[in-house]
Amino acid sequence: MEKLLLTLSLAVFSLGLFAQSQDETRLFYTSNNPVLLQSYIQNAIQQEGGTTPTVSLGSPNTWLHDSTYAYTGIGDTWNLASRTMVVARNTENLWLSSLVHFHDPVNGWYERDSLVTRYYPDGVRDEYFSMPWNSTTNNWEVVPGEYQNFYPTGEQEEYRLRIWNYNTNEYGFGVRIKYIRVNNQLSETIRYDWEFASSSWINSYRETYIHDTDGKLLELVAQLWDNDQDEWISNYRETFNYQNDLLISKIEHSNDNGWVYERRINYDYEGNLLKNLTEERWDAVLFEWKDYSREAYTYSPGGNLIYVLRESWVPTNGIWINDNEENYNYNINNEITYHLGKEWDTDVNDWVNVKEETFSYNSIGELGEYERIVWDTDTDAWDNDLKEVYFWNQLTVSTEDLEKEIFSVSPNPASNFIRIQGEQNNIQKIQCLNLSGQIINEWESTQTEITLNLNSGIYFIRILGSDNKIYTKKLIVL
């Protein structure tokens, strides 16, 4: 079953557990959360492309994410803003392409944007690019494309961002990232930039990693390439300390004619759950660590994070002051359903609302709706900000049927009509179904060109064959 990652990503980022290095050349996000840090390399690979989860066809009824409708908020109202519809999947049901439409309250749907991904037979992503619709030329535009190569194990070996050259009408090189592994551990990541003058790749940025025998990350060193000296220059370093396989501290260093302390993160646990996180900054004058901020975590009896309190240290007063807090609720399936973020207002000496997020799940257990509202300090009221509604459909055709292109439906996407192509004497009946599985139109088998009178959206053309098999084709109506 294909799962949306939105729930987890929103929860993690709203917690503020990811913090990007001040060095803008860093390739990856570094987490201050020890659970995420211990899978730092794997997370980094996933952010740079990674492998795509496959969908098992073992069950005759597989639910697949079909489309997303997005709404923007104005005051207490919602306005339809865009929709993303999956157009095609391969025989393993991996997402191949989708269409994005934008909505204007007056003129309706307009610009189109196509996102396309191609997969290797083993299911890992090989190519990704976006093609926005140019309403002036009435054609698709070509924009930068992403290309990935993978090891036979499915781990990423190389990532390339290629730029479309409008003069030669072909892709040119842009950025290249190489992943080097030793004994199945990522030991080095190198970024190259394409130099047009020399028509060659040149060194840009490098990260090296040292692991212990158990695979835990012990050290990360970041380097920039110096063209004048023709060598790598170290500029940033992270070291990690563990106790009983739990990360207890991370120390960040900068290079000033030698490594100097910058920041230290300390972790305290109750069992295997993180209870407290403290951040310290290095005082180069007093040569000691100084308190900077701290976080406290509260969990439900089942281990779900339900409350986070962040405080900042005020050295002039020698006290901790409130900064912000996060509250979370979950359903019986341990899926997040609610998040409320607040920050401390020193003027009123109390907590004030910042944002509220709700997550709703449908009857099949998938994310059905996400809604975010933000607090308007001028009106002291909530304002709608973003809502996304997710639609799913049930796959009932077999891999064999998918591979056999016995019938085709064109054009797709369509507007006013479609043509059914195939052996007409093998067709008993043609039906059109909506996302709920309801038959909304039915035609005789003799009709090869069918006039449509449908609203924009996703439908299914079901063909009943004389071999008593059912063939289903997805239809996008613009």
Contact by Cβ (8 Å): 205, 224: yes
For residue 1, is it within any domain?
A: no
CATH number for the domain harbouring residue 460: 2.60.40.1930
Q: Where are the beta strands (DSSP E) in 362-466?
A: 367-376, 381-395, 408-410, 417-421, 427-433, 439-444, 449-451, 457-465
User: Rounded to two decimals, what is the model's pTM?
Assistant: 0.69
Contact by Cβ (8 Å): 132, 139: no
Give the integer Cα–Cα distance in Å for 1 and 366.
Answer: 10
For residue 216, is it within any domain?
A: no
Contact by Cβ (8 Å): 33, 274: yes
Give me the residues paired with residue 165 across strands.
170
For residue 405, is it within any domain?
A: yes
Helix or strand run (H / E) with residue 111 = strand 108-119
Q: Mention every residue, 6+ apart, whose C-beta is less than 8 A from residue 170.
A: 164
Distance of CA 108 to the CA centre of its chain: 28
**Paired tokens of 71:** 């709404």
The three-point CA angle 171-174-179 to 5° equals 115
Give the integer Cα–Cα distance in Å for 18 and 47.
Answer: 13
**Paired tokens of 282:** 């290095």
For residue 459, is it within any domain?
A: yes
For residue 252, is it within any domain?
A: no
- Which residue range forms the structural domain that includes residue 451? 399-477
**What pLDDT score was predicted for residue 218?**
96
- Give the position of tokens 């080095």: 188
Give the integer Cα–Cα distance in Å for 3 and 319.
Answer: 45
**What pLDDT score was predicted for residue 166?**
67
How many structural domains compose the chain? 1
Give the integer Cα–Cα distance in Å for 345 and 429.
Answer: 66
Contact by Cβ (8 Å): 31, 9: no
Task: For the chain, 478 residues long, give each residue's pLDDT as a single digit of tens.
Answer: 333 323 323 222 222 222 222 222 223 323 333 333 233 223 322 332 222 222 222 233 467 777 888 999 887 889 888 888 877 776 666 677 777 888 888 877 776 666 666 665 555 566 666 677 777 776 666 665 666 665 555 566 777 777 766 677 666 778 888 888 888 788 999 999 988 888 889 999 999 999 999 889 999 999 999 999 999 999 999 999 999 989 999 999 999 999 999 999 999 999 989 999 999 999 999 999 999 999 999 999 989 999 999 999 999 999 999 999 999 999 998 899 999 999 999 999 999 999 999 999 887 788 889 999 999 999 999 999 999 998 887 654 433 443 345 677 888 777 788 888 776 567 888 888 775 566 788 887 767 788 888 877 777 788 877 766 667 777 877 6
For residue 418, is it within any domain?
A: yes
Give me the residues paired with residue 477 across strands.
414, 457
**What pLDDT score was predicted for residue 153?**
56
Give the integer Cα–Cα distance in Å for 370 and 71.
Answer: 10
For residue 466, is it within any domain?
A: yes
For residue 183, is it within any domain?
A: no
